[in-house]
Structure 1
Amino acid sequence: MELPADLPTGLAETIEPMVRRVLAGNPSAFTYTGTQTYVVGKGADVAVIDPGPADPAHIEAILATVGDARIAAIMCTHTHRDHSPAAAPLAARTGAPIIGCAALMLSDDGPRSDEAFDTTYAPDRVLADGESVSGDGWTLQAVATPGHTSNHLCLALVESGALFTGDHVMGWSTSVISPPDGDMADYMASLAKLQERSDRVYYPAHGPAVENPAQLVRGMMGHRKQRERQVLRQLEAGPQAIPDMVPQMYKGIDERLYGAAGRSVLAHLIDLKNRGAVRHEGDVWALIHGD
C-alpha cells in the first residue's frame, strides 16, 4: 500500500476553528495513513474523539495538542483496537471521563478482517442516540450508526455542522462489515439514516475529510447494492463457498485482502438469508428458488 508522503504524524493540524486533528503512527491496509484523533474545542475545555492506540508517543501528542485546557470528555466511536485503547491511559493521566459508545468484546473464530476489539475499554457514560456532551463553545451529539460494529456511534458537532464518522463512512475506502458483530442490514439502515441528515462535512477516523457527504453516502449505498447483486449472480451459477466467490467478485485486488472481502461477502449472505433469498449447508451457499 502506497501512502501519501510527508504524513504529519503526531502534529496537531487545525482543520476548522474548533477542530484539531492528530494522526497516530499506525498506518496499515485497514487504517490507511493511521488513526486520526480529533480534539474539539478551543476554550477552557475540550473533547478528544477516538484517542487511538495505546501508543505513548500518540498519547503525548494528544496532551501537547490539548495544552492547558481541561479534557471534558474522552469519546470513542467504537472499540476496535485502533480507536479506543488510549482512552484508559489518557483518562488515568488527566482524570477525564470516558464517554461515548458502549463496551463490547466479541470472540470471533473467523479470519480477522480488521483490528480486534479493545478489552480495556470501560466507559464512564454511554451515549444513547441523540444524547449529547457539551463544553466551552461546543456540543457533540451522538448518532447511533451500528453496522461496522454493533456499538458504533458517529458524533455531530452541532455548532459547525461537522460529523465525526469513525469507521462508518470513510472517503478512502468502504467500511469492512465483519460478522458476527458486523451486520449488513444494520449498516445499510445507518447509511440511510445519515442520508436523511444535512451534515456539512464528515471527519472520518481514517483518510481525508469528506466534503460531499450526501453524494458519498448515495454512492456507498449503491456500491453495497451492487455487491449484493454480484453475490446473487454468483449463486445463479450454482451453490458455492465464499472462497470460490471472492476471486470472481473482487478481481484485481491484492490476495492478502481476500479474507476481508470474504467477511463482507458473508455479511451480504447473512442478510440475504435473513430475507429468505439464500440458504447454506455448512460452508456452501445456494439460492432459494420460489415455486
Structure 2
Amino acid sequence: MTDAPTGQAIQLEPLVARVLAANPSPFTYTGTQTYLVGTSDLAIIDPGPDLPEHLEALVAAIAGRPVVAIACTHTHRDHSPASRPLAALTGAPIVGCAQLVLDDDGPRADAAFDRDYAPDDVLADGDCIGGTGWTLRAVATPGHTSNHLCFALEESGAMFTGDHIMGWSTSVVAPPDGDMGAYMASLDKLLGREDRIYYPAHGKPVEKPQRLVRGMMGHRKQREGQILRLLGTGVGAIPAMVERMYVGLDPRLTGAAGRSVLAHLLDLQNRGIVQQEGEAWKAA
C-alpha cells in the first residue's frame, strides 16, 4: 500500500509531511491522510477521524511547534472530527469549509456528515492562511460535497485535494448534496491551474495533475454516454444500470455506484436531456 504505514510522520517535501490514520475502508482506501504544512509553525489539513492513536500520532508529529490553523476540506466523518480535540490540545483555530449537516440514508455510513464541526473561520474561494514560509489559498471545489475546499500551497505548487481528486479512485458524488454538474465544473477549474502535484486525502500523491484531471473528466463523460445508451435501449431503472455499467464491482460499493448514476441523471435532467417517470428514467 503506497501510503502506509499508519501513525508515522512521513516527510513528502520540505514544507509537507503526512500522517495516515488507521481507518481503512472500501471508501477511504488505506485511511485518511492528514497533512502538516510548515516547519517552524504549522497548518494541519484534514485532521481526520477522532481516533486516540491518530491524535497521538499528530501530537508527536507536531512536536511542540505552534499550530496556526487546523484546516478542513469538508465535513465527512473521516476528515474533520479530530479538529476539536486537536484544537483543544494546540489552541489552534479550526478553519476552512463551512458547516454542513444533512440526513442521508445512503450507502456511506462511514462518511456521514460531522454534526459537531464548528469552524472558527470559514474560508471562501481565494482566502489565505499563512505562517513562516508558507501560504495556503482556499480553492472552492464543490461537487463531492457542496462545501468542499482544496488548499493550494503557493510556495511549492502543491495542492491538497481532499476527496475532490484522490490518488486511488474517482470521487463519490452522492446526491442530495453531491452534485455532478458542480463536480465537473470544479474539475475544469483545476484543469485551468498549474499545480505541480496533488496531495489527496486518500491514496498516493498525483504527480501529473492535469493528465489525471483530464482523464477523470473523460471518465465521467464516458459514464454519461453509457447512461444515455442504456436509456436508448429501454433500461431506465438505476439498479439495472449499475448492473450493466459496473461489472465486477465490489458488492459493498453497489450503493455508492447507484448514487453516482443518480448524480449523472440529475445533471442530465438539469440540462434537459433526460426526465424521470416514477422510479425510471428516459430520454427527454
Equivalent position of 2:191 in the other structure: 195
**2:84 & 2:213 partners in 1: Cα distance?**
33
Code of the aligned partner of 2:7? G
Q: Give me the TM-score of the superposition, normalised by structure 1.
A: 0.95
Residues in 2 aligned to 1:92 and 1:216: alpha-carbon distance in whole angstroms: 38
Aligned to 1:25: 22
One of 269, 279, 282 as aligned partner of 2:278: 282
Of 5, 8, 11, which residue of structure 2 is paired with 1:11? 8
- 2:127 and 2:91 mapped to 1: Cα distance? 22
The CA deviation at 1:8 is 1.4
- What is the aligned residue count? 284
Identical-pair percentage: 68
Alignment partner, residue 228 of structure 2: 232
Structure 2 counterpart of 1:121: 117
Find the aligned partners of 2:68 and 2:3 in 1 and give their Cα distance. Answer: 32
**Deviation string, structure 1 residues 230-271 (Cα, Å, up to 9, x no partner):** 000110011521011101011121222111100000000000
Over residues 164-209 of structure 1, what are the superposed CA-to-partner deviations in whole Å (9 max), with x where a residue is unaligned? 0000011210000000000000000000000000000000000000
Q: When the two structures are superposed, what TM-score results if normalisation uses the length of structure 2? A: 0.98
Note closer, same or farther for the CA distance 1:84–1:245 as it changes in structure 2 (3 Å cut).
same
Moved more, 105-114 or 170-179: 105-114
Q: Give, in whole Å, the separation in 2 of the partners of 1:256 and 1:107.
A: 21
Q: Kindly state the Cα deviation for residue 6 of structure 1 after the two structures are TM-superposed.
A: 9.2
Give 1:83 deviation, angstroms. Answer: 0.3
Distance 2:3 2:82 in 1: 24
Partner residue of 1:252?
248
Deviation at 1:109, TM superposition (A): 3.1
Q: 1:100 aligns with which of 92, 96, 99?
A: 96
Post-superposition shift, 1:114?
A: 5.7
Structure 2 runs not aligned, ≥5 long: none
Looking at structure 1, the residues matched to 139 and 210 of structure 2 have their Cα atoms a distance apart, in angstroms, of 16
Structure 1 contact 239–287 (Cα < 8 Å) conserved: no
Once the two structures are overlaid, the 10-residue window that deviates more, 195-204 or 60-69, is: 60-69
Displacement of 1:110: 3.5
Contact 1:35–1:83 at 8 Å: present in 2 too? yes
> What one-letter code is carried by the residue in structure 1 that aligns with 2:182?
D
Q: Does 2:42 align with 1:46?
A: yes
Deviation beyond 4 Å, 4+ runs, structure 1: none
Cα distance in 1, alignment partners of residues 15 and 266 from structure 2: 42
Give the match's secondary structure for 1:123: coil
Residues 204 and 5 of structure 1, relative CA distance in 2, 3 Å threshold? closer
